[in-house]
Chain A
């Protein structure tokens, strides 16, 4: 069975803290993605990676960084958390970057709900 796991379901942090959100997939997928989801705004892409040590900015990368040291793990880092980063964070993985149009499905983790006080 396909599995994408995220390190925490709920997280409460203080403004200015450094926050790590971890995502692990067991499907040997090349591509991994981080999204945030906010009411009325839908899902927005933060960063993605299509190989180990590779990363690409998405639509809203400001205030975030990522790390992909191993194929199965993609970490999202909030260098200095701010209240406007309170959100639901979703990780996803898929096969075949650039051939996604041929129909590869993205598999999502359960999400991490982050509250920054």
Chain B
């Protein structure tokens, strides 16, 4: 079952621009995580935001969480070609497993 739904499905921007991806989920959460996956590779954890947090920063990443709207956004500032990847939000299922959305495919053109 999939809980998070990312929007847009694909995003193409120029290097130096900001990229914003959104995620909506269905049930109540304790935290929400964002992951990155480079083409054909494994997932890398980017950032975790707890349900009592509204915003969190990590380097060029900024994550917001709105539990009233059951939504989160991931902002990548000053994007680089190396940021080209798929980005997934994930929440924790009842069995402790991560439930992922289908992802946003980001392409950063040099």
Contact = CB atoms under 8 A, between A and B. Distances in A.
B95 A48 contact: yes
Interface string B3-47: 000000000000000000000000001110101000011111100
Contacts of A90: 42-43
Interface stretch (A11-19, A69-77, A78-86, A105-113): A105-113
Q: Which size class do B's interface residues fall under?
A: 20 to 34
Nearest to B5: A42
A66 interface: no
A101 B42 contact: no
Contacts of A33: 97-98
B57 interface: no
B1 interface: yes
Given A43-B88, A59-B1, A108 B100 contact: no
B45 A105 contact: yes
Contacts of A45: 93, 97, 99
Interface residues of A, number: 31
Given A45-B97, A90-B42, A111-B42, A40 B31 contact: no
Given A102-B30, A103-B31, A111-B40, 15 more contacts: A33-B98, A42-B100, A42-B101, A45-B93, A45-B97, A48-B95, A56-B95, A58-B95, A59-B1, A88-B40, A101-B29, A102-B31, A107-B45, A108-B35, A108-B44
